[in-house]
A and B are shown apart, each in its own frame.
Chain A
Amino acid sequence: MKKRICAIVLAIAVAAVGFSGCGKSKYDPGNFLPSGTSDNPYRIVKNRVAVKIFVPRGASNPHFNDMKMFKKLSEITGLDFDFTEVDTSAYDQVRSAVWEDKANLPDLFLFNNSISEQVYYGDLGAFCAFNDPELVTGGVRAGHLIDNYMPTYKALLENNFGIDTDENAVRTATCSGGKMWSALSVNNVPRDLTFKMFINQKWIENLREDGYTLPDAADIRTVEQYEQVLRAFKSGDPNRNGKADEIPVASRSLEYLRNFILASYGYVFPDLEVKNDGSGIVYVPATEEYRRYLDTMARWDADGLLDPATFSIKTDAQLAQKGMEHRLGSFCSAAAYLVAGMKYESEYVTFGPLTSASYAGEPLQWGFPHFSPTGATIPAGTPYVREIARLLDIMYGELGQQLIGYGEENADWAWDDETRSSWTFRIPEGWAGTQEDYRATLTPNVGTGSALFWNYGFVGKMNDPIIKKLNAMSEIYAPYLKVPVPSDIKLTVDEYNESEQIYASLSPFLENEEYQFIKEKKATQGAPWDKYLSDLNKYKVERYTKIYNAAYLRRDG
């Protein structure tokens, strides 16, 4: 009797699931347009349908449906967008929850697709692979999405997005199992591929008038020359206010300054990094080069060259306050005016990268990856996989690049002349906020998500004096960028989990040790240094390095 009841209950449950599936299955395969219409190549469907898109939403953005970018995309494609917007502060939690509600997964996860999630859920078959020739979803045989529905993306991939770099777009997009779970997020805009280090050229000139012999900012080539300039900033009165209030170099918790100084000794990042001769991966904090970096920073701290508040500055405002008071000789920032204000902005210029007496090789600057496999993922089971693939393809094309960058042509921006060598952003008269505030109303590219293709070919032509200057200042770093661990190095699920655990325990230890060595003047020789190295090994640094070296070897076949 019990068995019979169980069987009936089970049958009802299965039937309910089946019926609910039937109820949802209103997908009409014939509605899809594989290559648009004669008068509109962007049209994706004959009759309008709604696709569900899951997105993060930053505080400065309006609703996605109110953004110019998506209004235009909806208009030309025939797709209605049903956005699930999640505040960026709670994005990870809600996204985890959404996976558990499998019956209501979206058709597209746009932006912020973490690699760990792809590794985990990809292995469970929860994503559609963009390169699966056998892909069948929602009863539709879609096949290889890139080959069949993404011609723009395919051409860009084959051409490495026209970017001359060691990073390989196809390898970056491909997970260790050979599947492409995510479309790439691509960036080749120099000003967004590294940080910028500024120094006050006017101060240098003032000190020269006072009898100091100092190189111009552009001629500072080594960390020793940089230190000479900082010492002059400290001992002289370069800001001409009669007070000894100059801060030679300042940074928020050593952010980016550490990378800049470390690079002058031969590595750019205090974690795993490919050796400069390409022979493998090394854990930088265990190297002699890192020790030299610590010695330099400890000396600068002891001699008052480094802002004494370096480790206690927690907000941008605290740093900017000193900049606005004309007290900073050198700092890292996206733009000088953000720290020093418009009044002193023109005094600062970018400089570097540097070498040092102990490293005379090619100058290095920490570079952010050109390619990131985090742009867009399609959950398995959506019937709209072909529609989504075409939508993404449009977003990689010229129109998509423009829309996500600065909105619609001739409405939000316009070419300056027929040659299309520059364009001007049109901010409505009476707009009270900043340019970025306005851009946030057009696109989620401000404060929410990286563009699928942030292309310098378009972005670099913006006719704006500050942006032009920033572009020029950023280009000095472009030839020297080094990505510590190329994004096309792929770990297996187990390797990924293990290395994440090691990193999580190692990171706070390293942060504390750095403070001890620099601020507390812990010795970087003899027993204290040996103990530090031994402690690193207790945190499984050897294993950590071995995992990445194995993946590095696999990448190179």
Chain B
Amino acid sequence: MVENGGKDKVFNCGVCAVAAAYAFVTLLPLLYIVASSFSAPDAVNTGRVGLWPVDFTLSNYARVFSDTAILRGYLNTSLYTVAGSAITLILQFTAAYPLSRRDLAGKKFWNLFFVVPMFVGGGMIPTYIVVKSLKMLNTFWAMIIPGCVGLFNVIVIRTYISTAIPYEMQEAAMIDGAGNLRLFLTIVLPLSRPILAVMTLYAAVGHWNAYFNSLIYITRDELFPLQRVLQRILVSSESNLIGGSLGDTEKTLAAESLKYAIIVAASAPILLIYPFFQRFFEKGLMIGGLKG
């Protein structure tokens, strides 16, 4: 690439300035949340917190982590995330690979079969009945199985495989005697690392943040994911000043800053793993998105 002296520099500076501004706008709420989580409750309630903690305190985190259920919440969510992501990836890739094959019998039908449910879902009530009928209520599986296959993601993976991996390479392997399983495991999967990383991140974030499924399907405390444990800590900290619940003023005041500590506690682990996937993320996402 040949640089065009000053014009390019001006353009690059402009791009950097816009990107920096965008980054700042994006980071602003994040910084505010972190600052509030380390600030005294009265500073948060009176709106004195900006991008830096006011009256620095760790009491909000002490409150969050003093709850014995929190460690179990982290453990449960980690299990749901690891097992759920693994199952999600296995199902999505094994569905996407055949769909990417030119020689799949009834390919149009199968594509339609996967596309239609993307737009027409069963809805919450039928899904609940299915989960209940399968005896999954109040089990580990209720957090893993419902919604474990993202059909949109299957289409994205299919597109990636069919466009980024030359079909001729697959044909050559077949001529050399590779079957579908070997082809999938030794050719397709290794060449799909960017999209695999993206889908892993999607699945992990989805499972880490899973909250509504637990509200609907889980009533046993020992199976609560982290998000549900945090929600219960927060709700039990809030008292209604008017509705008659005779709570504790100090607790009510602390509820607002506690909220921010809870957001950080819930988001930090997933934010920490993001950088490890970042290098794959851009490539995988662009291919899936642009060539669909």
Contact = CB atoms under 8 A, between A and B. Distances in A.
Nearest to A464: B246
Contact of A320 (B133, B235, B243, B253): B253
Tell me what chain B mostly uses at the interface: helix, strand, loop, or mixed: helix
A342 B247 CA distance: 12
Interface string A455-485: 0000000000011000000000000000000
A199 to B, nearest CB: 16
Interface in A92-130: 93-94, 96-97, 100-101, 104
B281 interface: no
A315 B255 CA distance: 9
Contacts of B235: 58-60
A83 B248 CA distance: 30
A435 B41 contact: no
Centre residue among B232, B240, B241, B245 by max chain A CB count within 10 A: B241
Contact of B129 (A97, A191, A342): A97
A191 B246 CA distance: 11
Nearest to A315: B256
Given A192-B244, A317-B256, A324 B219 contact: no
Contact of A316 (B46, B215, B234, B241): B241
A437 B247 CA distance: 8
Contact of B245 (A104, A195, A436): A436
A321 B231 contact: no
Interface string B124-160: 1110110011000000000000000000000000000
B180 to A, nearest CB: 37
Given A59-B236, A100-B125, A333 B242 contact: yes
A87 B253 contact: no
Contact of A334 (B132, B243, B250, B255): B243
A100 B129 contact: yes
B42 A94 contact: no
A261 interface: no
Contact of B212 (A90, A191, A318, A338): A90
Contacts of B126: 100
B216 interface: yes
Contacts of A58: 235
Contact of B241 (A97, A104, A319, A435): A319
B215 to A, nearest CB: 4
A90 B215 contact: yes
Interface string B245-275: 1111111111110000000000000000000
Nearest to B235: A59
A34 B246 CA distance: 39
30 contacts: A59-B232, A60-B235, A60-B236, A84-B219, A89-B231, A93-B125, A93-B216, A97-B216, A100-B125, A100-B129, A101-B129, A315-B255, A315-B256, A316-B238, A316-B255, A317-B253, A319-B241, A320-B241, A321-B46, A334-B241, A338-B249, A339-B249, A342-B249, A433-B248, A434-B251, A436-B239, A436-B245, A446-B245, A447-B236, A467-B246
A320 B125 contact: no
Given A60-B235, A256-B242, A332-B242, A321 B251 contact: no
Interface in B208-236: 212, 215-216, 219, 221, 231-232, 234-236
Given A323-B249, A334-B240, A435-B246, 16 more contacts: A59-B235, A60-B235, A87-B215, A97-B128, A101-B129, A192-B244, A318-B45, A320-B241, A320-B252, A320-B253, A321-B45, A321-B253, A334-B242, A338-B247, A338-B249, A434-B251
Interface string A489-516: 0000000000000000000000000000
Centre residue among B219, B234, B254 by max chain A CB count within 10 A: B219
